């Protein structure tokens, strides 16, 4: 079965930095509601991507660990 890859590649450190900046902008009282909603959606996408890449790394480590243990 073919797995769909990510549409872009962003280093984890850059993604965490971007998430912090997005949170700062979302809290800004001058932020337009439509822009805030778009930033919230972007933050959700980045967090899902970050969580997916972290789980992929941990599953890769487990699978290589299992292969060496067997």
pLDDT tens digit sequence for 11-59: 889 999 999 999 999 999 999 999 999 999 999 999 998 887 666 666 6
Give helix then strand counts, H and E, for the chain. Answer: 2, 0
Confidence (pLDDT) at 1: 46
Confidence (pLDDT) at 23: 96
Integer Cα distance of 24 and 18 in angstroms: 10
Q: Which residues contact 12 (CB under 8 A, 6 or more apart)?
A: 50, 53
- Token pair listed for 30: 């001058």
Which position has the token pair 């997916």? 52
Confidence (pLDDT) at 39: 96
Contact 15, 46 (CB under 8 A): yes
Confidence (pLDDT) at 51: 83
Confidence (pLDDT) at 15: 92
């Amino acid at each position: 079965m073919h797995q769909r890859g990510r549409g872009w590649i962003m280093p984890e450190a850059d993604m965490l930095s971007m998430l912090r900046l997005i949170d700062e902008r979302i809290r800004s009282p001058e932020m337009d509601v439509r822009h805030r909603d778009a930033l919230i959606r972007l933050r959700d996408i980045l967090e899902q991507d970050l969580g997916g890449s972290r789980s992929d790394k941990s599953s890769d480590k487990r699978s290589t660990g299992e292969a060496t243990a067997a």
